[in-house]
């Protein structure tokens, strides 16, 4: 308890000193509503409004979170992407997708060498979230709530072996009715949609990771590598290994062009 009190007292002192310095520098944080207004266009998928926010962002007076301006910019970027991530989940983006995007963009800050690099990354992050939210808004107008929830369930369970019964149980629906409704609204059976989404996820793993085909098949809930390879070849027209080879060759060619 004594240690906790000492820690509290130190934090309290540091906070008072920090707030005093902010007042001396005439710095005021933007109001909560003002900060949220910069993220609302992303949640709404309003690309024009997002472009305005991006243009205005570089002129915002932001707090200094580090002695290094670059590190401070990175810390602020992490805060921005975290808010975007949560807002988009509230707006209907599958949590796995939103958190995944957040993780990817935060990792990209390692490559930023200047504050301008971070500012450019901020713009890319805002646009990417907004584009995806626009597509979800469009889909929501075309699909019923139950089908949207089914799609979200599938996206959040791509690493599992998913059945129509699993989804129906989750949504408290009759499995036969769900299958009919899903096919009517999406043009695909539930199983075909699951297979398509798993194979799309496999393409990303093949392109951007070093996982073996056996590992990918296991991660995505296929019955085995041969089953995965057969389905992948049927959809893409080439085997997973050939797909990875072609992607690698494209990346290599681009790298050579940039030299």
Query: Does 125 share its domain with 147?
Result: no
- pLDDT confidence bin for 140, thresholds 50/70/90: confident
Whether the per-residue pLDDT at 50 is higher than 70: the answer is: yes
Query: Does 137 share its domain with 36?
Result: yes
Q: How many domains does the chain have?
A: 2
| Burial classification of residue 129, based on how many CB atoms lie within 10 Å of its CB (0-12 exposed, 13-18 middle, 19 or more buried) | buried
Window from 212-216, 221-225, 244-248 with minimum mean pLDDT: 244-248
Query: Does 199 share its domain with 232?
Result: yes
Query: Does 98 share its domain with 76?
Result: yes
| Burial classification of residue 156, based on how many CB atoms lie within 10 Å of its CB (0-12 exposed, 13-18 middle, 19 or more buried) | middle
- Which residue range is the domain that position 40 belongs to? 25-141
Long-range contact pairs involving 130-134 (C-beta distance under 8 Å, separation at least 24)? 130/41, 130/42, 130/45, 130/46, 130/47, 130/50, 131/45, 131/47, 132/45, 132/88, 132/93, 132/97, 132/101, 133/42, 133/43, 133/44, 133/45, 133/88, 133/91, 133/92, 133/93, 134/45, 134/46, 134/47
**For residues 198 and 206, is the Cβ–Cβ distance under 8 A?**
no
Calpha distance 87→132 (Å, rounded): 13
Window from 108-117, 200-209, 245-254 with minimum mean pLDDT: 245-254
Of 121, 141, 161, which residue constitutes the final position of a domain?
141
Query: Does 32 share its domain with 129?
Result: yes
Q: Where are the alpha helices (DSSP H) in the chain?
A: 2-24, 32-44, 47-57, 69-90, 95-108, 115-142, 145-156, 164-171, 175-186, 190-208, 213-219, 225-236, 240-257
Chain mean position to CA 253: 28
Query: Does 165 share its domain with 133?
Result: no
Residue 209 belongs to a domain: yes
**For residues 161 and 221, is the Cβ–Cβ distance under 8 A?**
yes
Residue 79 belongs to a domain: yes
Higher pLDDT among residues 106 and 62, named by residue: 106
Calpha distance 86→190 (Å, rounded): 28
Residue 7 belongs to a domain: no
Query: Does 198 share its domain with 94?
Result: no
Query: Does 150 share its domain with 123?
Result: no
Whether the per-residue pLDDT at 23 is higher than 80: the answer is: no
Of 124, 141, 158, which residue constitutes the final position of a domain?
141
Query: Does 135 share its domain with 163?
Result: no
Residue 31 belongs to a domain: yes
Query: Does 205 share its domain with 172?
Result: yes
Percent of the chain with pLDDT over 70: 81
Of 141, 159, 179, which residue constitutes the final position of a domain?
141
Calpha distance 39→175 (Å, rounded): 38
Query: Does 149 share its domain with 68?
Result: no
Residue 14 belongs to a domain: no
């Amino acid at each position: 308890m004594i240690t906790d009190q000492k820690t509290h007292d130190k934090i309290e002192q540091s906070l008072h000193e920090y707030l005093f310095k902010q007042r001396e520098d005439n710095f005021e944080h933007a109001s909560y509503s003002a900060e949220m207004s910069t993220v609302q266009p992303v949640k709404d998928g309003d690309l024009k409004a997002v472009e305005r926010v991006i243009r205005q962002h570089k002129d915002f007076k932001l707090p200094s979170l580090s002695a290094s301006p670059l590190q401070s910019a990175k810390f602020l970027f992490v805060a921005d992407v975290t808010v975007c991530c949560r807002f988009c989940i509230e707006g209907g983006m599958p949590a796995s997708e939103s958190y995944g995007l957040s993780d990817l963009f935060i990792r990209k800050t390692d490559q930023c060498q200047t504050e301008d690099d971070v500012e450019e990354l901020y713009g890319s992050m805002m646009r990417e979230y907004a584009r995806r939210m626009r597509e979800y808004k469009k889909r929501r107008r075309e699909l019923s709530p139950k089908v949207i929830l089914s799609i979200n369930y599938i996206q959040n369970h791509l690493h599992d072996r998913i059945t129509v019964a699993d989804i129906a149980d989750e949504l408290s629906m009759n499995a036969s009715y769900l299958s009919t409704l899903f096919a009517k609204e999406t043009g695909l059976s539930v199983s075909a949609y699951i297979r398509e989404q798993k194979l799309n996820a496999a393409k990303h793993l093949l392109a951007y990771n070093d996982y073996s085909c056996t590992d990918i098949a296991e991660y995505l809930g296929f019955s085995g590598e041969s089953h995965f390879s057969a389905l992948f070849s049927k959809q893409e027209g080439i085997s997973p290994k050939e797909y990875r080879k072609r992607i690698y060759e494209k990346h290599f060619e681009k790298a050579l062009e940039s030299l």
